[in-house]
Structure 1
């Protein structure tokens, strides 16, 4: 700490002394709000930037009005300054008093300001055996002539609060004196009685530091509450335009934000106790105080306070306040700022190391599993794929890596070996890690059943269908389960790769976030922010996202990924430099467009946008035309991915009768609201058109899961599991009927195709119980290994369905199905089997990321 700057908080000097980057310094020498700036800070600054072309309001009208509203005193009682220090230095010159009375130890600038105004100074020292308590009767005993009495409440460095009524009583007995009460740290004290209100005696003035309360020391903002006459005199001593436009805007907003200040008052006692307990364990004597710092006496065997501060700074990057220059203290005292839990642990670990304490190992910060998180500027920015690629790239380096997404909203799901349901994206990512899928990798799965409700699945099991409001109330419980799942999973691996959802800038969701920055905070993850540059607007999206983040969340962002770029990356250099200047973060990778990657999509966004399947029939008559019905609530459409890899297949989606044509096969996929989608088939005419094609016998009609149910005579939902509909007539193509039951079938299943005897493997996810009609029983199409029915078929085999998701993943069966279609078209069967294997795609993806990202640098950023 520079001797010419005796206060704490000189970050540049601290960093130079430590030989470290300023970002590596934990500054506990300055006592500001440990929760950091309010979440709206950047938005207020941005909104006020346009006003910088004008001079600031010299009267700080809006700021003063906000102060008057908060403290309940007329605007004429308040003066705004560039920090309370500016006001403090102006006030003695405005009083006309020749003498200052200052109880010590106290803030050193009280005496400096009085001295520079030519005042005689009378110090009233407190004593250590009384914990440096300020006794007002001792002060009153020296008030034989008009004096400026300078009091801190809470005091600095002791943190002790003076009783407001006692100050008022003393002021009433000494009307010739002016009592200046510095309440710079008062906002941190629950139930504090401020003297800044309208009932303040005329000879009491109050300093109010917004700098400390709102963690904005770089803006400099303070207030004086005083009688109108004194306020006017002090105002006349300040330079014009003392408070700049940005500080005025932030101050006005902050004074009106009661919730922010209440949050720190609620949090501080616990944080202070955590620090006090740790210091006590290390042998410090901690003096009682109520502020956001602690005054502590060093253990007897410890070096001097200056030496302890030097070693903590140079050896550990922790800055502490040496109290040797406080009057009435000695080189045996430190002032330590109260910080957040992890920072408190770092402070205590540094002190334990400096003191060579045998307790040092117990204070060593518990190092969490290194974690890297991919968040996006929007849905479908490529987060799932990027995470899968990172998982494979890290696994190939010999690291034990696991994927995680705390909450997934998707209709594409799968089942683990132990019968638990999870998002398909994390199943793919688990494979990239060379791990078996584990429900802890996606502890919360939301499967929309309508525009306003979803089935909620926690740790693989459904807990109910909830509307948005119901789920928001349930979310704390869901997030607790997600955190526990993460902790258990992370304990078993070397590194975690987390995926966000949507965008962290969705401000309407930030208050109850559990999947983006809130999860990053729990994991201690470094965040890569990804944007889809192919869609355009990527730089605006990245900059805008950063502008919507609170400061603590911005600090988690390690850099940006530009995804799906087509072209020469060097053309992006000017824009990358702009982004660096605007946000202080670099573009750490430009990932090129990857054609035909062959990995499943996370949800139906790309499918419904037309990004994966065309709508038109094939141009080549030798290719099989397979039409997939694009149901409004389609789920698990990834069942069709294996068909898309076949060179003789043209897979397309159909939304209306005009698009249907006369394909070789029509597939009805899964649905999360079977009855509603059945009704939609009837309303659009697609149901009748598909029935007509089935009657002609040239088109094979296939149903998977809900699609199987739709092929029957009726589907009933007596419990209202999916919607308010109770029953819908089916297409009547199979002699089966289905009733949705409360129990959900979840199973990884081995099965057999009844006709070909070919082995199948997949998973079941359904509420339906399907039974054959007695009058027209269908044939078995698919059975489980134990022979129980899993699917049914028309006797000629041209209409069939099964509950088995992933049925086409089996290479032999897929080719059998396609060759059956070819024979009907008089096309020669194809003997060659195109393998459906995600491994080449995952390795290809990892190759691309390793070529376009500095993975070693990223690993260093997360601590590997």
Structure 2
């Protein structure tokens, strides 16, 4: 039975909300798991997160931008991604500023104080989106952001308890026990919440646990006695779970199991293993472009933070960036720019740039309108391209093909564009600057360029398409082209699909969370 009276303004749809005691507590994946379980139960379910701050974004079928996490949760429900599931997206471009995206469209670059003044408009968009999304649904699963107990942010809250009140949602409070301090964080969070908000918390979930859960009994008793809330589940640490991360916290820490390792050149790969180094940019975005690569057997994807850790990789990838000029300066300052250029001259080297990474491969990047931080930076100079950031943002789903200049055969790819940058070839004066298209869409529009070698293949190339490595045939051909250079045996590769991984996640949550209590909270 629902124990909290429904607000008259709230849509009459049962709602459950997942909040955390901190960022990176595992809220997004737990929300995805609950969406999957409720959908498998035959309920029409939809996810919702009022405001997300993330650099991993996704483009919907109608060309709107939203957080990648809510797109994954939509897939868990068997739904297409819909911007109403994430009406407000903040994409940080610096420590104090972010691009604000409302209902899939950028509305401006704002600093914190400016955005606080804008919150009234943002909240109206949130309320309208939630009310519309609820139509025809049996249940809603909401996700909070950070912690609901950040007392300096309570006055401006539109994503945690204020949203829970609007939806009349019961709350599961999640803590990451792997990082330590979980029990203190749960007690502290409850003590900082107001009485009405505490009443919404139905129970606790411990996430990312390693070991024997029976050893936690005394802690459960102490915390439940103090806060009068039960523990509803202990979710084990899942190894090699190939699902997109919401933000770059785990990437930056280098601790995500089975994902990236901060190994340097002194720690060699196992035999017949490809070593792919990825530059860890301060403003890295859409690093989920690499998920399909890390899911492959015989491939190690590692973070590259310092020039001295460069080693001898088989390929270097420059991922996307939300502040390309600043990140290009970072590469120059750290010596990574010089190391990449030196590496590109080796006979078997491969250097790839995706979106912002493509821009960095060029000669120059200009941001005269201060779309990001503003200014100008020299690129790596590996491709005769110049890039200018323009006011209108390119957002669209794309189907196209990678030409034979990359992997030896033309292969279909699909994904999405998210960019302000417009890159144009510079007239080439040097005979060895043999640049040519490497990717085009179905209309023949060029989306990537490469520098051709005498054998007609591109050793340095880049493309504007996010998600291009998700295409199994292209990814396998690309990796086997690297193996060929390294004199490794070719491999067939894996099939990259989120469906089985979502089911695996849901199965584990179902086994370790008191789902009877969850269903009771929802009245289903």
Q: The TM-score by the shorter chain falls in which range?
A: over 0.9
Residue matched to 2:480: 819
Spell out, residue by residue over 1:711-730, the C-alpha distance to the aligned partner (whole angstroms, 9 max, x if none).
011111111110132x1111
Pairwise CA distance, 1:25: 10
Residue matched to 2:514: 854
**Aligned positions of 1:207-246 closer than 5 A:** none
Pairwise CA distance, 1:863: 2.4
Say if 2:394 is the partner of 1:745.
Answer: yes
User: C-alpha separation between the residues in 2 aligned to 1:861 and 1:754?
Assistant: 53
User: C-alpha separation between the residues in 1 aligned to 2:68 and 2:273?
Assistant: 29
Spell out, residue by residue over 1:219-250, the C-alpha distance to the aligned partner (whole angstroms, 9 max, x if none).
xxxxxxxxxxxxxxxxxxxxxxxxxxxxxxxx
Task: Provide closer, same or farther for how the CA distance between residues 25 and 744 of structure 1 changes in structure 2, counting only shifts above 3 A.
Answer: closer
Residue matched to 1:576: 220
Report if aligned partners of 1:662, 1:699 keep a CA contact under 8 Å in 2.
no
TM-score, structure 1 normalization? 0.58
Say if 2:456 is the partner of 1:788.
Answer: no
Q: 1:442 aligns with which of 82, 86, 110?
A: 86
RMSD over aligned CA atoms reads 1.6
Spell out, residue by residue over 1:490-539, the C-alpha distance to the aligned partner (whole angstroms, 9 max, x if none).
12211111111100111110111011101101111110000011111111
Spell out, residue by residue over 1:11-42, the C-alpha distance to the aligned partner (whole angstroms, 9 max, x if none).
xxxxxxxxxx9x9699xxxxxxxxxxxxxxxx
Pairwise CA distance, 1:614: 0.9
Report if aligned partners of 1:783, 1:789 keep a CA contact under 8 Å in 2.
yes
Spell out, residue by residue over 1:264-313, the C-alpha distance to the aligned partner (whole angstroms, 9 max, x if none).
xxxxxxxxxxxxxxxxxxxxxxxxxxxxxxxxxxxxxxxxxxxxxxxxxx
User: C-alpha separation between the residues in 2 aligned to 1:712 and 1:724?
Assistant: 18
Pairwise CA distance, 1:381: 0.4
Report if aligned partners of 1:627, 1:666 keep a CA contact under 8 Å in 2.
yes
Report if aligned partners of 1:811, 1:835 keep a CA contact under 8 Å in 2.
yes
User: C-alpha separation between the residues in 1 aligned to 2:226 and 2:303?
Assistant: 43
Residue matched to 2:336: 686
User: C-alpha separation between the residues in 1 aligned to 2:178 and 2:421?
Assistant: 41
Report if aligned partners of 2:22, 2:147 keep a CA contact under 8 Å in 1.
yes
Spell out, residue by residue over 1:35-54, the C-alpha distance to the aligned partner (whole angstroms, 9 max, x if none).
xxxxxxxxxxxxxxxxxxxx
Pairwise CA distance, 1:437: 0.3
Q: Is the partner of 1:703 in helix, strand or coil? A: strand
Report if aligned partners of 2:11, 2:167 keep a CA contact under 8 Å in 1.
no
Pairwise CA distance, 1:366: 7.7
Say if 2:72 is the partner of 1:428.
Answer: yes
Residue matched to 1:736: 385
Q: Is the partner of 1:543 in helix, strand or coil? A: helix
Pairwise CA distance, 1:367: 6.4
User: C-alpha separation between the residues in 2 aligned to 1:421 and 1:724?
Assistant: 22
Structure 2: where are the runs of 5+ without partners? none
Residue matched to 1:627: 277
Pairwise CA distance, 1:686: 0.7
Task: Provide closer, same or farther for how the CA distance between residues 815 and 550 of structure 1 changes in structure 2, counting only shifts above 3 A.
Answer: same
Pairwise CA distance, 1:708: 0.2
Report if aligned partners of 2:68, 2:246 keep a CA contact under 8 Å in 1.
yes
User: C-alpha separation between the residues in 2 aligned to 1:504 and 1:25?
Assistant: 19
Report if aligned partners of 2:18, 2:143 keep a CA contact under 8 Å in 1.
yes
Instruction: Work out which of the two has the higher radius of gyration on C-alpha atoms and give 1 or 2.
Output: 1
Report if aligned partners of 1:368, 1:524 keep a CA contact under 8 Å in 2.
no
User: C-alpha separation between the residues in 2 aligned to 1:384 and 1:718?
Assistant: 36
Spell out, residue by residue over 1:797-830, the C-alpha distance to the aligned partner (whole angstroms, 9 max, x if none).
0000000000100111001110010111111212
More helix by share: 1
Q: Is the partner of 1:380 in helix, strand or coil? A: coil
Q: Is the partner of 1:762 in helix, strand or coil? A: strand
Report if aligned partners of 2:11, 2:131 keep a CA contact under 8 Å in 1.
no
**Aligned positions of 1:105-254 closer than 5 A:** none
**Aligned positions of 1:614-763 closer than 5 A:** 614-616=261-263, 617=265, 618-725=268-375, 727-755=376-404, 756-763=409-416
Task: Provide closer, same or farther for how the CA distance between residues 24 and 462 of structure 1 changes in structure 2, counting only shifts above 3 A.
Answer: closer
User: C-alpha separation between the residues in 2 aligned to 1:829 and 1:574?
Assistant: 53
Moved more, 471-480 or 610-619: 610-619
User: C-alpha separation between the residues in 1 aligned to 2:468 and 2:4?
Assistant: 57
Residue matched to 1:798: 459
User: C-alpha separation between the residues in 1 aligned to 2:511 and 2:343?
Assistant: 50
Report if aligned partners of 2:177, 2:209 keep a CA contact under 8 Å in 1.
yes
Say if 2:418 is the partner of 1:771.
Answer: no
Q: Is the partner of 1:793 in helix, strand or coil? A: strand
Task: Provide closer, same or farther for how the CA distance between residues 687 and 547 of structure 1 changes in structure 2, counting only shifts above 3 A.
Answer: same
Q: 1:845 aligns with which of 505, 515, 519?
A: 505
Structure 1: where are the runs of 5+ without partners? 1-20, 27-340, 346-364
Task: Provide closer, same or farther for how the CA distance between residues 556 and 24 of structure 1 changes in structure 2, counting only shifts above 3 A.
Answer: closer
Task: Provide closer, same or farther for how the CA distance between residues 828 and 572 of structure 1 changes in structure 2, counting only shifts above 3 A.
Answer: same
User: C-alpha separation between the residues in 2 aligned to 1:453 and 1:719?
Assistant: 15
Pairwise CA distance, 1:621: 3.3
Spell out, residue by residue over 1:713-758, the C-alpha distance to the aligned partner (whole angstroms, 9 max, x if none).
1111111110132x11111101111110000000011010011210
Report if aligned partners of 1:563, 1:592 keep a CA contact under 8 Å in 2.
yes
User: C-alpha separation between the residues in 1 aligned to 2:302 and 2:292?
Assistant: 13
Task: Provide closer, same or farther for how the CA distance between residues 517 and 25 of structure 1 changes in structure 2, counting only shifts above 3 A.
Answer: closer
Report if aligned partners of 2:438, 2:448 keep a CA contact under 8 Å in 1.
yes
User: C-alpha separation between the residues in 2 aligned to 1:596 and 1:791?
Assistant: 31
Spell out, residue by residue over 1:123-170, the C-alpha distance to the aligned partner (whole angstroms, 9 max, x if none).
xxxxxxxxxxxxxxxxxxxxxxxxxxxxxxxxxxxxxxxxxxxxxxxx
User: C-alpha separation between the residues in 2 aligned to 1:609 and 1:509?
Assistant: 25
Report if aligned partners of 1:675, 1:715 keep a CA contact under 8 Å in 2.
yes
Pairwise CA distance, 1:841: 0.9
Task: Provide closer, same or farther for how the CA distance between residues 632 and 781 of structure 1 changes in structure 2, counting only shifts above 3 A.
Answer: same
More strand by share: 2
